[in-house]
Structure 1
Amino acid sequence: MHKLNETEIVAIDLFCGVGGLTYGLQSAGISVKLGVDIDPDCAHPIEHNSQANFLNADVASLDPTIVSEIFKGAPVSLLAGCAPCQPFSTYSRAAKQKHGDAAGENRNEDWRLVEHFGDLVEKVQPDLVTMENVPPLAQQPIFKRFLEKLHGYWVDWRVVECQSIGLPQTRKRLVLVASRLGPIAIPEFEKTPATVRTAIGELPKIPAGGMDPNDALHRASRLSSLNLQRIRHSKPGGTWRDWPEDLRSSCHLKDTGATYPSVYGRMKWDAPAPTITTQCFGYGNGRFGHPDQDRAISLREASMLQGFPKNYSFLPDEQNASFDKLGRLIGNAVPVTLGEVIGELFSDHVAKMRSETTRH
């Protein structure tokens, strides 16, 4: 018997990363008790920025009784997670094209985390479930098998354009919600679009290779003299075609180069940013140039474009952490804003179910 007269939703965040989903859910009033991740670097951001504890573990071998014990006595339980899907990462695809994947020998390994997430749902039977992932997952057999594991749940899923939820990014994500309490649906989101300006417009100016003395994360990677000349000729929203010909790379002159116009691009102030990736701190890795400063976006700017608050701490000593490590943690994060709207959806759902139970 669900104690729907009590409002607390107790959650566990699997594959929690640096806590974007955890922080978003908590901002919506959900009590996240535990974050689980195989990466020990995720301990600090989870425990420093939220009220959740951190468990350094592989979800593939996680004892279901750990989850069940945390959920014991909870008015409403929520199992959440974003299982990494390696087949859809840019670098994974590139590696497979280079080395070949005809035999598909690693394919089961690629999907195992989605599979294990579904296994935990089957064994624990939480009241609520949510999964956030890449849109191509919906076309894969593993997704159908995951849905089959949700027997007994009301389920809804859709691809959400993150601009529609107020995130200043052109990111698209598959969002699934499921409930044993009653019918649940993901609404059409129509929040006011956020822009690069609204997200990072008030941060102090810094040069390429420089850092804000008051914020170790607000630092930008260095630029070579050639790339400094290139960014000075780059227009917000423009392409490398705006440069003088002597600044163009030989790869730009090839036919294949024409398909990557946003590489070495600047963002536009009054538009959303592109999808923030693990390499977003590099000017040549996409449209990651600052709208008007001659540099790539800083790590802090990247995190704020992911919805994290300005004071969010990712590592104990951020000043000495590498761009690669911090870029990976920030780029792989679930956007905080997405966590918030999922949390609000579940809170509204539980309140509605409680109202209907009371009425009857």
Structure 2
Amino acid sequence: MTNRPKIAAVDLFCGVGGLTYGLESAGIDVRLGVDIDPECEYPISENTGARFEKADVGAMKVEVLEDALRGGAVRLLAGCAPCQPFSTYAQSAKEAVANDEDREARDDWKLVGRFGDFVKALQPDLVTMENVPPLARQPVFRKLLSDLEGYSVDYRVVECRTIGLPQRRKRLVLVASKLGPISIPEFEFPEKSVRKVIGDLPKLEAGQVDVTDRLHRASSLSKLNLDRIRASIPGGTWRDWPEELRAACHVRESGGTYPSVYGRMEWDEPAPTITTQCFGYGNGRFGHPEQDRAISLREAAMLQGFPRDYAFIPSDEPVSFAKLGRLIGNAVPVTLGEMIGKLLVEHVQRLGDATPQANELARARG
């Protein structure tokens, strides 16, 4: 195909660059990454070609985005507005339903709505957003769909293990186009296992750090938790432990609701959803499949699709489990970003020679 207009993009709520890096890997020119967290500037600047702007997306002006996209043959607005109230780790599903109306007033909702405001004001050629699956059932999502009037729109919940991410993670993905019909296919890529992704990293003990990679470090364990992980089997639960190792909450009937805490991953299966607390053995099924420790920060990042050498902090900055756990756990998985990018690039290429509007855009901007 001779006419392949270049896609220029802005990534709102860019975080440490999972979506940006994935889009760039697919051939998209990400011009700008925007986030309110200053800790995101280093990884964006160090690992991607995007310029970083520390800004409150809720207060920024559309002119900033227009300037960033100027001259792009095809313009893409991408992002993942934070939706922390939906976290299944924060509350039960019953509470989630009961509090839907109250959440409409929260800042998290305002950011989803703000993304829609930018769509209406900017009128980009392409739009993509990824988020937590429950968002699709909320009024704010219906409002976003109304902001996309005039676009071809498709959205679905993507099982990340079906796109080659070694993780049991589900994400709501939306794509929209003014260039022509667009849809998200059913994906069935071969699953990647925990072993495939992190199996060759150097062995560690709890509390130890790899001398060649300071992010490959494991949090310390108390003697009790060391005994617990030694009694844990891959894919098992605390019910496999002898009685004396069980916590009081496990003994109570309510403890049966949380079978995956203090669990080990399995070598030949995908990992569980990587969260901001994934470095802690007691916070989920984050025990290493074989070694008596929780997964390291580097292993968590690689299970999120980041390359092994992705730089999250400057070399002279101390490593903080809490900070890096938050940045890694909140990131858009790189593999998901690349899948979205490939879908959009193929969409533009497919329509480039066949759609008059695409050709007109290419001539006007290219």
Provide the TM-score with structure 1 as the length reference: 0.94
* CA distance in structure 2 between the aligned counterparts of 1:186 and 1:175, rounded to whole angstroms: 8
Q: Helix, strand or coil for the counterpart of 1:107?
A: coil
Counterpart residue identity of residue 77, structure 1:
R
Q: How far did residue 57 of structure 1 move?
A: 0.2
Q: 8 Å contact 1:216–1:318 — kept in the other structure?
A: no
User: Kindly tell me: are residues 102 and 26 of structure 1, through their superposed partners in 2, closer, same or farther at Cα, counting changes over 3 Å?
Assistant: closer
User: Kindly tell me: are residues 101 and 150 of structure 1, through their superposed partners in 2, closer, same or farther at Cα, counting changes over 3 Å?
Assistant: closer
Task: Indicate the RMSD between aligned Cα atoms, in angstroms.
Answer: 2.0
The match for 2:285 is: 287
The match for 1:18 is: 16
The match for 2:351 is: 353
* CA distance in structure 2 between the aligned counterparts of 1:155 and 1:11, rounded to whole angstroms: 18
| 1:129 corresponds to which of 127, 130, 134 | 127
* CA distance in structure 2 between the aligned counterparts of 1:105 and 1:30, rounded to whole angstroms: 34
| 1:233 corresponds to which of 231, 234, 259 | 231
User: Kindly tell me: are residues 257 and 318 of structure 1, through their superposed partners in 2, closer, same or farther at Cα, counting changes over 3 Å?
Assistant: farther
| 1:259 corresponds to which of 257, 260, 267 | 257
The match for 1:326 is: 324
- TM-superposition CA deviations, 1:266-306 (whole Å, max 9, x none): 00000000000000000000000000000000000000000
Q: Helix, strand or coil for the counterpart of 1:265?
A: coil
| 2:196 corresponds to which of 198, 203, 224 | 198
* CA distance in structure 1 between the aligned counterparts of 2:187 and 2:176, rounded to whole angstroms: 18
Q: Helix, strand or coil for the counterpart of 2:75?
A: strand
| 1:344 corresponds to which of 342, 345, 348 | 342
**1:40-79 equivalence runs, <5 A:** 40-79=38-77
- List gaps (5 residues or longer) in structure 2: 360-366
Q: 8 Å contact 2:31–2:69 — kept in the other structure?
A: no
The match for 2:116 is: 118
User: Kindly tell me: are residues 83 and 318 of structure 1, through their superposed partners in 2, closer, same or farther at Cα, counting changes over 3 Å?
Assistant: farther
Stretches (4+) displaced over 3 A: 90-94, 100-103, 357-360
The match for 1:107 is: 105
Counterpart residue identity of residue 169, structure 1:
Q
Provide the TM-score with structure 2 as the length reference: 0.93
* CA distance in structure 1 between the aligned counterparts of 2:294 and 2:305, rounded to whole angstroms: 18
* CA distance in structure 1 between the aligned counterparts of 2:12 and 2:24, rounded to whole angstroms: 15
* CA distance in structure 1 between the aligned counterparts of 2:41 and 2:299, rounded to whole angstroms: 22
| 2:180 corresponds to which of 167, 179, 182 | 182
* CA distance in structure 1 between the aligned counterparts of 2:348 and 2:27, rounded to whole angstroms: 12
| 1:31 corresponds to which of 16, 20, 29 | 29
The match for 2:364 is: none
- TM-superposition CA deviations, 1:143-169 (whole Å, max 9, x none): 000000001100000000000000000
Q: How far did residue 109 of structure 1 move?
A: 2.4
Q: Helix, strand or coil for the counterpart of 1:60?
A: coil
Count the aligned residue pairs: 354
* CA distance in structure 2 between the aligned counterparts of 1:195 and 1:9, rounded to whole angstroms: 33
| 2:313 corresponds to which of 308, 315, 325 | 315
* CA distance in structure 1 between the aligned counterparts of 2:99 and 2:261, rounded to whole angstroms: 27
Counterpart residue identity of residue 62, structure 1:
M
**More off after superposition, 216-225 vs 309-318:** 309-318
Identity over the aligned pairs, expressed in percent? 64
* CA distance in structure 2 between the aligned counterparts of 1:106 and 1:226, rounded to whole angstroms: 43
The match for 1:141 is: 139
Counterpart residue identity of residue 161, structure 1:
E
User: Kindly tell me: are residues 105 and 205 of structure 1, through their superposed partners in 2, closer, same or farther at Cα, counting changes over 3 Å?
Assistant: closer
Q: 8 Å contact 1:217–1:318 — kept in the other structure?
A: no
* CA distance in structure 2 between the aligned counterparts of 1:72 and 1:278, rounded to whole angstroms: 36
Counterpart residue identity of residue 23, structure 1:
Y
* CA distance in structure 2 between the aligned counterparts of 1:48 and 1:24, rounded to whole angstroms: 15
Q: 8 Å contact 2:81–2:108 — kept in the other structure?
A: no
| 1:224 corresponds to which of 213, 222, 225 | 222
* CA distance in structure 1 between the aligned counterparts of 2:100 and 2:70, rounded to whole angstroms: 46
User: Kindly tell me: are residues 318 and 252 of structure 1, through their superposed partners in 2, closer, same or farther at Cα, counting changes over 3 Å?
Assistant: farther
User: Kindly tell me: are residues 233 and 106 of structure 1, through their superposed partners in 2, closer, same or farther at Cα, counting changes over 3 Å?
Assistant: same
